Amino acid sequence: MPLIAVLPGDGIGPEVTTQARRVLEALDLGLQFEEAPVGGAAYLVSGRPLPPETLTLAKRANAVLFGAIGDPRFEALERQLRPEAALLGIRRELGLFANIRPATLFPGLESATSLKPEAVAGLDIVIVRELVGDVYFGEKGRRHNAEGLRQGYDVMSYNEAEVERIARVGFEMAKRRKKKLCSVDKANVLETSQLWRDVVNEMSTQYPEIELTHMYVDNAAMQLVRQPNAFDVIVTGNLFGDILSDQASMCAGSIGMLPSASLRAWSGDNGMYEPIHGSAPDIAGQGKANPCAAILSAAMLLRHSLSDEASAQRVEKAVAGALAKGARTADLGGSLSTTEMGDAVLRELV
Ligand code: NAD
Ligand code: IPM
Ligand code: MN
């Protein structure tokens, strides 16, 4: 019986995860669920954002269903005690280097975006974000410089093996789609990015069928709102991928629509599945959050960790069906509560 670790976290994390779990339970696949605290919720009960028992559960499970972490009450804590440290810790400890963030516009949501409907209609792109390197995990700290001024630093770096393994995910993803890969970097300024670009170019000889392009991240940010459909697969580093995926979410109607999978292999692996959004303190506890990103993350869990493509598609079709019938939370211009949106998806689960 596959074991799913459920880590709801903070803010709207528990609200949206509850709906994703309901959907997984309704499929009647004999899944076993075990829940554990993470982030600020874990800090409150144990003094640590990532208790060892939570990490052990995540490692032991066939897959992790993650909500969101983050709580303004803990922003002043030292960095390793903040909720965010838990998420970064799980990614690092489980070696989840490949973060797959599909941005798909479901029919009917064209008017929910702040872009022109015709610019986003039919949107279907994937951002492949490197997840355990870059400026996130380099040496960081505070010091006083020679003039006695306070200085903060975070070192950006990638080695060639780190670039190669994430680029491979990008190439393989493109191979299964429209065969277009756009590698996003800042090679005109950053040496880390020049190495990234060199490695991606070297690998392209192994993928002659893939049309590879390179784009600077500033231009990519512009092109993503100008003509998002011109992209197929984007592969990029941790920081650029974080920013570009929030931006891409608006092309799909709302940040409440974008799921993600964090993997260390293509499939059959104990990956982690979470919406790309955070704990949304501004709407937490009000039952307003859109659970679709969490529910679609559960679909990715079925696809990538349980190799159950049929069930994954059932869930995705149920979300599409609910939206087609006009079900909308506030972020999409509607008035359904989180639970009501979950109900609407459950009704479509055939
Ligand atoms: P956020 O994604 O939490 O919220 C940004 C905006 O989007 C807010 O206005 C919020 O109300 C809205 N929003 C987000 N998810 C929504 C949903 N499902 N339905 C409707 N509206 C939604 O980003 P933030 O405000 O910058 O960060 C808040 C906290 O979350 C911080 O502590 C941050 O570190 C954390 N965070 C965690 C994750 C994660 O757990 N993966 C991701 C991003 C941010
Ligand atoms: C995300 C979040 C995280 C990140 C934070 C909360 C550490 O923004 O999952 O997109 O930057 O990766
Ligand atoms: Mn983010």
Is 267's pLDDT higher than 90?
no
Is 269's pLDDT higher than 90?
no
Tell me, in angstroms, the distance from the centre of ligand 1 to residue 5's CA: 22
Return the residue whose CA atom lies nearest to atom 8 of ligand 2.
242
- % of residues, the chain, pLDDT over 90: 98
Spatial separation of the C-alpha atoms in residues 274 and 66, rounded to whole Å: 5
The ligand whose atoms approach the alpha carbon of 280 most closely is 1
**343 in active site:** no
Q: What is the pLDDT of residues 20-79, one digit of tens each?
A: 999 999 999 999 999 999 999 999 999 999 999 999 999 999 999 999 999 999 999 999
Query: Which tokens in the block code for residue 85?
Result: 């440290």
In short, whether 295's Cβ falls inside 6 Å of ligand 1 is: no
Block residue for tokens 């990956």: 271
Q: Is 279 annotated as a binding residue?
A: yes
Spatial separation of the C-alpha atoms in residues 250 and 306, rounded to whole Å: 29
Q: Which mutation among 279, 297, 340 tests ligand 1's pocket best, with the greatest number of atoms within 8 A of CB?
A: 279
In short, whether 250's Cβ falls inside 6 Å of ligand 1 is: no
Q: Domains (ranges, CATH) in the chain?
A: 1-97+264-350 (3.40.718.10), 116-251 (3.40.718.10)
In short, whether 294's Cβ falls inside 6 Å of ligand 1 is: no
Q: 265: pLDDT confidence band, cut at 50, 70 and 90?
A: confident
Tell me, in angstroms, the distance from the centre of ligand 1 to residue 255's CA: 8
Q: What is the pLDDT of residues 91-150, one digit of tens each?
A: 999 999 999 999 999 999 999 999 999 999 999 999 999 999 999 999 999 999 999 999
Those residues with Cβ within 8 angstroms of residue 269's Cβ, 6 or more apart along the chain or in another chain: 263, 304, 305
3-state secondary structure the chain: CCEEEEEEECCCHHHHHHHHHHHHHHCCCCCEEEECCCCHHHHHHHCCCCCHHHHHHHHHCCEEEEEECCCHHHCCCCHHHCHHHHHHHHHHHCCCCEEEEEEECCCCCHHHCCCCHHHHCCCEEEEEEECCCHHHCCCEEEEECCCCCEEEEECCCCCHHHHHHHHHHHHHHHHCCCCEEEEEECCCCCHHHHHHHHHHHHHHCCCCCCEEEEEEHHHHHHHHHHCHHHCCEEEECHHHHHHHHHHHHHHCCCHHHCCCEEECCCCCCCCEECCCCCCCCCCCCCCCCCCHHHHHHHHHHHHHCCCCHHHHHHHHHHHHHHHHCCCCEHHHCCCECHHHHHHHHHHHCC
Is 338's pLDDT higher than 70?
yes
Q: Which mutation among 66, 69, 87 tests ligand 2's pocket best, with the greatest number of atoms within 8 A of CB?
A: 87
In short, whether 68's Cβ falls inside 6 Å of ligand 1 is: yes
User: What pLDDT was estimated at residue 268?
Assistant: 67
pTM: 0.98
Average pLDDT (162-166) is 98
Angle of helix 13-26 relative to helix 338-348, nearest 10 degrees, comes to 20
User: What pLDDT was estimated at residue 6?
Assistant: 99
Task: Name 261's bridge partners.
Answer: 100, 273
Mean pLDDT of the chain: 97
Tell me, in angstroms, the distance from the centre of ligand 2 to residue 266's CA: 22
Cβ count near 306 (within 10 Å): 19
Q: What is the CB-side half-sphere exposure of residue 277 using CA atoms within 13 A? A: 31
Return the residue whose CA atom lies nearest to atom 27 of ligand 1.
278
In short, whether 84's Cβ falls inside 6 Å of ligand 2 is: yes
Angle formed at CA 98 by CA 166 and CA 32, multiple of 5 degrees: 155
**242 in active site:** yes
Tell me, in angstroms, the distance from the centre of ligand 3 to residue 233's CA: 18
In short, whether 244's Cβ falls inside 6 Å of ligand 2 is: no
